Amino acid sequence: MVSADIVSKATDAGLSICFLENELMKNHTTFQIGGPVELMAIPKDRKSLIGLFRLLAEAQTSPVYIMGNGSNLLVSDEGIDGIVVKTEDALKDLNICGTVITAGAGVSLARISTFAKENSLSGFEFAHGIPGTLGGAVYMNAGAYDGEMKSVVTKTEYLKNNTIEALLDDNHQFTYRHSFFSDHPECFILSSQISLHAGQQDEITAKIADFSNRRREKQPLNYPSAGSVFKRPTGYFAGKLIQDVGLSGYMIGGAQVSEKHAGFIINREGATCRDVLDLIKLIKITVYDRFSIQLECEVKVIGRNV
């Protein structure tokens, strides 16, 4: 069995990794949805993470799924074949040199924003309330309010074919919810440099508080979700389109279109992956029939029969 072989080789190599068999993915996603994965690997440091990737490549193990904190992930109720590598614990480094912060891909955006504030650096306030890690944010060029990763990320270190490489500036190919990494899933993000500028700590604190208050007022933060489900169509807002077709509050099973922000689907009451997928399908069909606009889902869906 490949899983047992990987565990044995990782142990022999002295890698610091927690392995969990048949682990329920609902315990690892912000949607709180998902069946068991054959094997979950949680490396405890960067060396062990890179060592694990090399073992997986040598064994030609497939499929392998990489995840951070599961904030943009919807997993099948039937679970996942193969191995999930949860990277959040392994890539926690956070350093500063002048106005540049270097952070591991597993560091939360909120932690980076707070770290920047503590060092009187401005430019990352927009990311404070985005519920994800830096790796996922760079991968999809996450953004909110007055900023996005494109405006602050100047260098990214990544692993490709067991070799550590780096991207600089425009080579990230950032566009709306897209980056170089969106087109190169074989590349795994290890860390990024974030270039900011000096600011007044009280002003930075006030800006973070303002953005946080806006989120609490407009977003359903008291229910499990994966954030905004759809990308913003050019010239429109997905939430407004969904609201205008009368789907605010609509439920399928335990999944509901949020009444507070129609761009969110929430796990209102024991929602399944199928509930969410059926609701996404209904929304896309209804919006297209009314406005001839094709909504594009930005939540990653993985697992059996999805």
User: Whole-angstrom Cα distance, residue 107 to residue 194?
Assistant: 13
Take residue 225 and report the two structure tokens written for it: 């979700």
User: Whole-angstrom Cα distance, residue 108 to residue 292?
Assistant: 37
Longest CA pairwise span in the chain (Å):
60
User: Whole-angstrom Cα distance, residue 306 to residue 76?
Assistant: 6
Give me the residue label for tokens 């993000």. Answer: 189
Question: What is the SS3 assignment for 202-221?
Answer: HHHHHHHHHHHHHHHHHCCC
- Catalytic positions are 177, 228, 298
Q: What angle do CA 198, 199, 205 make, to 5 degrees?
A: 135
Contacts of 233 (CB under 8 A, 6+ apart): 241, 293, 294, 295, 296
Residue 290 parent element (H or E): helix 273-291
Q: Are residues 306 and 80 in contact, defined by beta-carbon separation less than 8 angstroms?
A: no
Crossing angle of helices 2-12/46-59, nearest 10°? 140
Query: What is each CA distance from 207 to 95, 121, 173, 225, in whole angstroms?
Result: 23, 12, 28, 25
Q: Under DSSP, is residue 29 helix (H, G, I), strand (E, B) or coil?
A: coil
Question: Which amino acid type is present at position 8?
Answer: S
Query: What is each CA distance from 189 to 42, 166, 212, 241, 289, in whole angstroms?
Result: 16, 9, 27, 34, 39
